Structure 1
Amino acid sequence: MKKLMYGLMAAGTLLFGVGCGGDDNACDALADANRALSDKVEACGTDTGMEGNDFDQDRCEDALEACSDSDKDQLSALADCIQGLPDCRAGSEMEWVDQFSACFQRTAGLSAACVAAAGG
Protein backbone atom coordinates (compact mmCIF):
# COMPACT_ATOMS: atom_id res chain seq x y z
CA MET A 1 0.00 0.00 0.00
CA LYS A 2 2.81 2.40 0.82
CA LYS A 3 4.34 1.95 -2.63
CA LEU A 4 0.99 2.69 -4.26
CA MET A 5 0.53 5.82 -2.17
CA TYR A 6 4.06 6.99 -2.99
CA GLY A 7 3.39 6.40 -6.69
CA LEU A 8 0.21 8.43 -6.56
CA MET A 9 1.91 11.20 -4.67
CA ALA A 10 4.68 11.28 -7.26
CA ALA A 11 2.13 11.52 -10.05
CA GLY A 12 0.35 14.31 -8.26
CA THR A 13 3.57 16.16 -7.55
CA LEU A 14 4.61 15.88 -11.19
CA LEU A 15 1.43 17.56 -12.34
CA PHE A 16 1.48 20.13 -9.56
CA GLY A 17 5.14 20.90 -9.98
CA VAL A 18 4.88 21.59 -13.67
CA GLY A 19 1.19 22.16 -14.22
CA CYS A 20 -0.06 25.06 -16.24
CA GLY A 21 -2.88 27.20 -15.12
CA GLY A 22 -3.60 30.19 -17.32
CA ASP A 23 -3.96 32.69 -14.54
CA ASP A 24 -2.70 33.11 -11.03
CA ASN A 25 -5.90 31.61 -9.66
CA ALA A 26 -5.31 28.21 -11.28
CA CYS A 27 -1.69 28.10 -10.12
CA ASP A 28 -2.70 29.24 -6.65
CA ALA A 29 -5.41 26.57 -6.55
CA LEU A 30 -2.91 23.88 -7.60
CA ALA A 31 -0.43 25.06 -4.96
CA ASP A 32 -3.16 24.89 -2.29
CA ALA A 33 -4.18 21.43 -3.49
CA ASN A 34 -0.57 20.26 -3.30
CA ARG A 35 -0.31 21.38 0.32
CA ALA A 36 -3.67 19.82 1.20
CA LEU A 37 -2.78 16.53 -0.49
CA SER A 38 0.19 15.91 1.74
CA ASP A 39 -1.93 16.38 4.86
CA LYS A 40 -4.74 14.18 3.52
CA VAL A 41 -2.38 11.28 2.81
CA GLU A 42 -0.46 11.62 6.06
CA ALA A 43 -3.75 11.23 7.92
CA CYS A 44 -3.58 7.61 6.71
CA GLY A 45 -0.29 7.13 8.51
CA THR A 46 1.77 7.39 5.32
CA ASP A 47 4.71 9.77 5.30
CA THR A 48 4.82 11.09 1.76
CA GLY A 49 8.13 12.87 2.15
CA MET A 50 6.47 15.86 0.50
CA GLU A 51 6.77 19.35 1.78
CA GLY A 52 4.22 22.10 1.25
CA ASN A 53 6.70 23.92 -0.98
CA ASP A 54 7.12 21.14 -3.57
CA PHE A 55 4.85 23.05 -5.98
CA ASP A 56 6.80 25.13 -8.48
CA GLN A 57 4.67 28.28 -8.78
CA ASP A 58 7.07 29.97 -11.21
CA ARG A 59 7.06 27.01 -13.57
CA CYS A 60 3.27 26.84 -13.40
CA GLU A 61 3.00 30.49 -14.31
CA ASP A 62 5.59 30.14 -17.10
CA ALA A 63 3.47 27.43 -18.72
CA LEU A 64 0.34 29.59 -18.77
CA GLU A 65 0.62 30.80 -22.34
CA ALA A 66 0.32 27.30 -23.77
CA CYS A 67 -2.89 26.50 -21.91
CA SER A 68 -6.32 27.32 -23.29
CA ASP A 69 -9.16 28.63 -21.16
CA SER A 70 -10.58 25.11 -21.18
CA ASP A 71 -7.25 23.74 -19.90
CA LYS A 72 -7.25 26.31 -17.12
CA ASP A 73 -10.76 25.31 -16.12
CA GLN A 74 -9.78 21.63 -16.05
CA LEU A 75 -6.74 22.29 -13.87
CA SER A 76 -8.79 24.40 -11.49
CA ALA A 77 -11.37 21.58 -11.34
CA LEU A 78 -8.57 19.12 -10.51
CA ALA A 79 -7.36 21.35 -7.70
CA ASP A 80 -10.91 21.76 -6.35
CA CYS A 81 -11.46 18.00 -6.46
CA ILE A 82 -8.26 17.25 -4.54
CA GLN A 83 -8.95 19.93 -1.96
CA GLY A 84 -12.42 18.45 -1.48
CA LEU A 85 -11.14 14.94 -0.78
CA PRO A 86 -11.62 13.65 2.74
CA ASP A 87 -8.58 12.72 4.76
CA CYS A 88 -7.39 9.21 4.06
CA ARG A 89 -8.26 6.83 6.90
CA ALA A 90 -6.38 3.71 7.89
CA GLY A 91 -8.29 0.70 6.63
CA SER A 92 -9.91 2.58 3.75
CA GLU A 93 -6.84 3.52 1.77
CA MET A 94 -8.02 1.93 -1.48
CA GLU A 95 -11.31 3.83 -1.41
CA TRP A 96 -9.36 7.06 -0.91
CA VAL A 97 -6.97 6.18 -3.75
CA ASP A 98 -9.99 5.61 -6.01
CA GLN A 99 -11.36 9.04 -5.11
CA PHE A 100 -7.96 10.65 -5.68
CA SER A 101 -7.57 8.93 -9.05
CA ALA A 102 -11.04 10.05 -10.11
CA CYS A 103 -9.93 13.67 -9.68
CA PHE A 104 -7.46 13.22 -12.53
CA GLN A 105 -10.26 12.31 -14.92
CA ARG A 106 -10.98 16.05 -14.93
CA THR A 107 -7.76 16.60 -16.88
CA ALA A 108 -8.36 13.97 -19.57
CA GLY A 109 -8.97 16.60 -22.24
CA LEU A 110 -5.97 18.85 -21.65
CA SER A 111 -4.63 20.20 -24.90
CA ALA A 112 -1.39 18.75 -26.22
CA ALA A 113 0.19 22.21 -26.09
CA CYS A 114 -0.62 22.61 -22.40
CA VAL A 115 0.63 19.12 -21.58
CA ALA A 116 3.86 19.76 -23.52
CA ALA A 117 4.37 23.09 -21.75
CA ALA A 118 3.87 21.32 -18.44
CA GLY A 119 6.64 18.88 -19.28
CA GLY A 120 4.22 15.97 -19.54
Structure 2
Amino acid sequence: MKKLMYGLVAAGTLLFGVGCGGDDVCDDLADASRAVNDQTEACGTDTGMDEEDFDKGRCEDALEACSDSDKDRLQDVADCIRGLPDCRVGAEMEWVDQFSACFQRAEGLSAACAAAAGG
Protein backbone atom coordinates (compact mmCIF):
# COMPACT_ATOMS: atom_id res chain seq x y z
CA MET A 1 0.00 0.00 0.00
CA LYS A 2 2.71 2.46 0.95
CA LYS A 3 4.57 1.84 -2.30
CA LEU A 4 1.41 2.58 -4.28
CA MET A 5 0.80 5.79 -2.37
CA TYR A 6 4.44 6.83 -2.79
CA GLY A 7 4.13 6.24 -6.53
CA LEU A 8 0.99 8.29 -6.85
CA VAL A 9 2.36 11.10 -4.77
CA ALA A 10 5.60 11.05 -6.76
CA ALA A 11 3.62 11.30 -9.99
CA GLY A 12 1.74 14.22 -8.54
CA THR A 13 4.99 15.92 -7.59
CA LEU A 14 5.69 16.64 -11.25
CA LEU A 15 2.58 18.76 -11.45
CA PHE A 16 3.20 20.33 -8.06
CA GLY A 17 6.83 21.03 -8.77
CA VAL A 18 6.58 22.58 -12.17
CA GLY A 19 2.92 23.04 -13.01
CA CYS A 20 2.09 26.17 -14.88
CA GLY A 21 -0.27 28.87 -13.76
CA GLY A 22 -0.31 32.31 -12.25
CA ASP A 23 0.76 33.30 -8.78
CA ASP A 24 -2.57 32.28 -7.30
CA VAL A 25 -2.54 28.90 -9.05
CA CYS A 26 1.05 28.29 -7.99
CA ASP A 27 0.21 29.21 -4.40
CA ASP A 28 -2.77 26.88 -4.49
CA LEU A 29 -0.70 24.03 -5.95
CA ALA A 30 1.87 24.58 -3.18
CA ASP A 31 -0.95 24.43 -0.63
CA ALA A 32 -2.21 21.22 -2.24
CA SER A 33 1.26 19.71 -2.01
CA ARG A 34 1.38 20.47 1.71
CA ALA A 35 -2.18 19.15 2.13
CA VAL A 36 -1.17 15.75 0.72
CA ASN A 37 1.41 15.39 3.49
CA ASP A 38 -1.16 16.26 6.13
CA GLN A 39 -3.87 14.05 4.61
CA THR A 40 -1.69 10.95 4.44
CA GLU A 41 -0.24 11.24 7.96
CA ALA A 42 -3.35 9.59 9.42
CA CYS A 43 -2.52 6.46 7.43
CA GLY A 44 1.03 6.44 8.71
CA THR A 45 2.38 7.28 5.28
CA ASP A 46 5.26 9.66 4.82
CA THR A 47 5.13 11.00 1.28
CA GLY A 48 8.79 11.89 1.41
CA MET A 49 7.86 15.38 0.21
CA ASP A 50 8.63 18.56 2.04
CA GLU A 51 7.87 22.21 1.40
CA GLU A 52 11.01 22.65 -0.71
CA ASP A 53 9.75 20.05 -3.21
CA PHE A 54 7.37 22.58 -4.73
CA ASP A 55 9.30 24.96 -6.98
CA LYS A 56 7.10 28.06 -7.04
CA GLY A 57 9.57 30.01 -9.16
CA ARG A 58 9.51 27.38 -11.87
CA CYS A 59 5.73 27.21 -11.65
CA GLU A 60 5.55 30.97 -12.15
CA ASP A 61 8.06 30.84 -15.03
CA ALA A 62 5.79 28.41 -16.89
CA LEU A 63 2.91 30.92 -16.78
CA GLU A 64 3.42 32.24 -20.30
CA ALA A 65 3.02 28.79 -21.81
CA CYS A 66 -0.37 28.23 -20.19
CA SER A 67 -3.69 29.53 -21.39
CA ASP A 68 -6.44 30.75 -19.08
CA SER A 69 -8.15 27.40 -19.64
CA ASP A 70 -4.97 25.58 -18.56
CA LYS A 71 -4.81 27.69 -15.42
CA ASP A 72 -8.43 26.86 -14.66
CA ARG A 73 -7.68 23.13 -15.01
CA LEU A 74 -4.69 23.37 -12.70
CA GLN A 75 -6.73 25.38 -10.21
CA ASP A 76 -9.34 22.61 -10.28
CA VAL A 77 -6.65 20.02 -9.50
CA ALA A 78 -5.38 22.07 -6.55
CA ASP A 79 -8.89 22.65 -5.22
CA CYS A 80 -9.75 18.97 -5.54
CA ILE A 81 -6.64 17.84 -3.67
CA ARG A 82 -7.05 20.40 -0.92
CA GLY A 83 -10.63 19.22 -0.49
CA LEU A 84 -9.74 15.56 -0.01
CA PRO A 85 -10.51 14.01 3.37
CA ASP A 86 -7.72 12.69 5.55
CA CYS A 87 -6.65 9.16 4.70
CA ARG A 88 -8.05 6.56 7.11
CA VAL A 89 -6.34 3.34 8.11
CA GLY A 90 -8.13 0.54 6.28
CA ALA A 91 -9.43 2.90 3.59
CA GLU A 92 -6.14 3.82 1.95
CA MET A 93 -7.20 2.66 -1.51
CA GLU A 94 -10.31 4.81 -1.34
CA TRP A 95 -8.13 7.85 -0.62
CA VAL A 96 -5.70 6.91 -3.41
CA ASP A 97 -8.63 6.65 -5.83
CA GLN A 98 -9.88 10.09 -4.82
CA PHE A 99 -6.38 11.56 -5.11
CA SER A 100 -5.93 10.02 -8.57
CA ALA A 101 -9.31 11.35 -9.70
CA CYS A 102 -8.17 14.89 -8.94
CA PHE A 103 -5.55 14.63 -11.68
CA GLN A 104 -8.20 13.81 -14.25
CA ARG A 105 -9.12 17.48 -13.99
CA ALA A 106 -5.82 18.32 -15.69
CA GLU A 107 -6.76 16.37 -18.81
CA GLY A 108 -6.78 18.56 -21.84
CA LEU A 109 -3.89 20.83 -20.87
CA SER A 110 -2.53 22.50 -23.94
CA ALA A 111 0.60 20.95 -25.42
CA ALA A 112 2.58 24.13 -24.67
CA CYS A 113 1.58 24.14 -21.01
CA ALA A 114 2.20 20.42 -20.60
CA ALA A 115 5.63 20.82 -22.20
CA ALA A 116 6.46 23.72 -19.88
CA ALA A 117 5.32 21.67 -16.89
CA GLY A 118 7.47 18.76 -18.03
CA GLY A 119 10.58 20.88 -17.99
TM-score bracket, shorter-length normalisation? over 0.9
Alignment partner, residue 80 of structure 1:
79
Q: How do 1:1-120 and structure 2 match up within 5 A? A: 1-21=1-21, 23-119=22-118
Structure with a larger share of its residues in helix: 2
Per-residue deviation, 1:49: 1.4
C-alpha distance in 2, partners of 1:41/1:12?
A: 14
Structure 1 residue 54, shift from structure 2 partner = 1.2
CA distance in 2, matches of 1:71, 1:3: 30
Counterpart secondary structure, 1:53: helix
In the TM superposition, residue 53 of structure 1 has moved relative to its aligned partner by: 2.5
Secondary structure at the aligned position of 1:63 is classed as: helix
What secondary structure does 1:62 align onto? helix
Question: Gaps (5+ residues) in structure 1?
Answer: none
Q: Is the 8 A contact 2:14 2:117 kept in 1?
A: no
**Distance in 2, Cα, partners of 1:104 & 1:48:** 17
